[in-house]
Amino acid sequence: ETRPVPEPGPNEVLLRMHSVGICGSDVHYWQHGRIGDFVVKHPMVLGHEASGTVVKVGSGVTHLKPGDRVAIEPGVPREMDEFCKTGRYNLSPTIFFCATPPDDGNLCRYYKHSASYCYKLPDNVTFEEGALIEPLSVGIHACKRAGVTLGSKVFVSGSGPIGLVNVIIAKMMGAAAVVVTDLSASRLQKAKEVGADFTIQVKNETPQEVASKVEGFLGCMPDITVECTGVQACIQAGIYATRSGGTLVLVGLGPEMVTVPIVNAAVREVDIRGIFRYCNTWPVAIALLASKRINVKPLVTHRFPLEKALEAFETTKRGEGVKVMLKCDPTDQSP
């Protein structure tokens, strides 16, 4: 609140922030001060799932004007390197990314950002939906990497926010059946609400037993597994579950080293693919939201004003609900 309002550069816009979702990574930085090699060394603003209103544009900006409502893509390449040239700018080692040390995020009243990575929202897409494009993008990128297509049988491991957006997108891309696993009955109920065909509440089953249950519900082994937890046993279950010649996409990040049945995957030609954030997803997501082909509104279960940010973070830390949303604009009276 004490920081001066920033001035946008020639290719930047100044935004009055509206909606910012809290991500598990935000909570992890708050609690532990690091994620892998990304270490918080100085005070840092959190938040990277965001939307807002343009209040000022730089001299070189022509596609946006003050008053435009926009969704913000948090990752901006700093230079045109080989990854940008091939369309995979998310892999650029010099990328700026909101709320990844040392880069500040956008959980604040006013924020400046590259205009090229701010996307105008149609009138029928809300600020909250705009903020949800960031987690939704993880689902779009993961399902594309996995090759989800018409008739795919899909196993989604984990029913947190990222598991749920993968359910939504897999169904949108033509999956015939999606089965979801989780420890939490309430989260599995939410998975049903957003389109999951089958749910399995995991208790004390071995990875092989989980894989067998998945096959039982689908009537066959899944073509594709999207692993959203990062938990070692879940990755193991993902390998055992995926049909020979199928694809396992690792979305959740857990320990740096895990023990997995790699020979099982190798001899059955199970492709194991990683994803890192997303790229080229905001226009796709906006088109899906504007056409009402998908509904992400059930994902938001808690809302707080910016003044109660600590309470919002505590709610997320306790694992309550699904997505906690902060409203940063005190003048806005919409529900």
Tell me how far apart the alpha carbons of residues 279 and 134 are, in angstroms, rounded to a whole number.
11
Under a CB-based contact definition with an 8 Å cutoff, are residues 69 and 130 in contact?
yes
Condensed to tens digits (0 to 9), the pLDDT of residues 190-232 reads: 999 999 999 999 999 999 999 999 999 999 999 999 999 999 9
Q: Which domains does the chain have, with CATH numbers?
A: 12-120+296-327 (3.90.180.10), 139-274 (3.40.50.720)
Who has greater pLDDT, 332 or 291?
291
**Cα→Cα distances 54→2, 58, 331, Å:** 21, 11, 15
Which pLDDT score, from 0 to 100, does residue 94 have?
94
- For the entire predicted model, the pTM comes to 0.96
Which pLDDT score, from 0 to 100, does residue 1 have?
54
Who has greater pLDDT, 269 or 321?
269
**What are the helix (H) ranges across 173-317?**
185-193, 207-218, 232-241, 262-267, 282-290, 309-317
Which pLDDT score, from 0 to 100, does residue 37 have?
87
**Cα→Cα distances 264→221, 249, 267, 269, Å:** 14, 16, 6, 9
Which pLDDT score, from 0 to 100, does residue 2 have?
64
Q: Environment class of residue 295 by beta-carbon count within 10 Å: exposed (0-12), middle (13-18) or buried (19+)?
A: middle
Condensed to tens digits (0 to 9), the pLDDT of residues 43-102 reads: 999 999 999 999 999 999 999 999 999 999 999 999 999 999 999 999 999 999 999 999
Task: State the average pLDDT over residues 226-240.
Answer: 98
- Other Cβ atoms less than 10 A from the Cβ of 34: the count is 12
- Residue 330 — pLDDT band, cuts 50, 70, 90? confident
Which pLDDT score, from 0 to 100, does residue 229 have?
97
Tell me how far apart the alpha carbons of residues 119 and 96 are, in angstroms, rounded to a whole number.
17
- Other Cβ atoms less than 10 A from the Cβ of 62: the count is 8
**Rounded-to-10 torsion of CA 192, 198, 199, 200:** 170
- Residue 334 scores a pLDDT above 70: no
Condensed to tens digits (0 to 9), the pLDDT of residues 7-22 reads: 999 999 999 999 999 9
Closest CA to 300 of 69, 21, 48, 105: 21
Under a CB-based contact definition with an 8 Å cutoff, are residues 246 and 271 in contact?
yes
Which pLDDT score, from 0 to 100, does residue 13 have?
98
When computed from its CA atoms, the radius of gyration of the chain, rounded to whole angstroms, is 20
- Residue 251 scores a pLDDT above 80: yes
Q: How many percent of the chain have pLDDT more than 90?
A: 94
- What sign does the dihedral 25-29-30-32 (CA atoms) show? positive
- Residue 165 scores a pLDDT above 80: yes
- Residue 187 scores a pLDDT above 60: yes
Under a CB-based contact definition with an 8 Å cutoff, are residues 239 and 265 in contact?
yes
Closest CA to 72 of 282, 264, 331: 282
- Residue 281 — pLDDT band, cuts 50, 70, 90? very high
Which pLDDT score, from 0 to 100, does residue 4 have?
85
- Residue 335 scores a pLDDT above 60: no
Q: Which two tokens stand for residue 101?
A: 């040390």
Secondary structure letter of residue 280 according to DSSP: S
Angle at 9 between CA 5 and CA 12, to 5 degrees: 90
Q: Environment class of residue 87 by beta-carbon count within 10 Å: exposed (0-12), middle (13-18) or buried (19+)?
A: exposed
Condensed to tens digits (0 to 9), the pLDDT of residues 105-131 reads: 999 999 999 999 999 999 999 999 999
Tell me how far apart the alpha carbons of residues 52 and 65 are, in angstroms, rounded to a whole number.
13
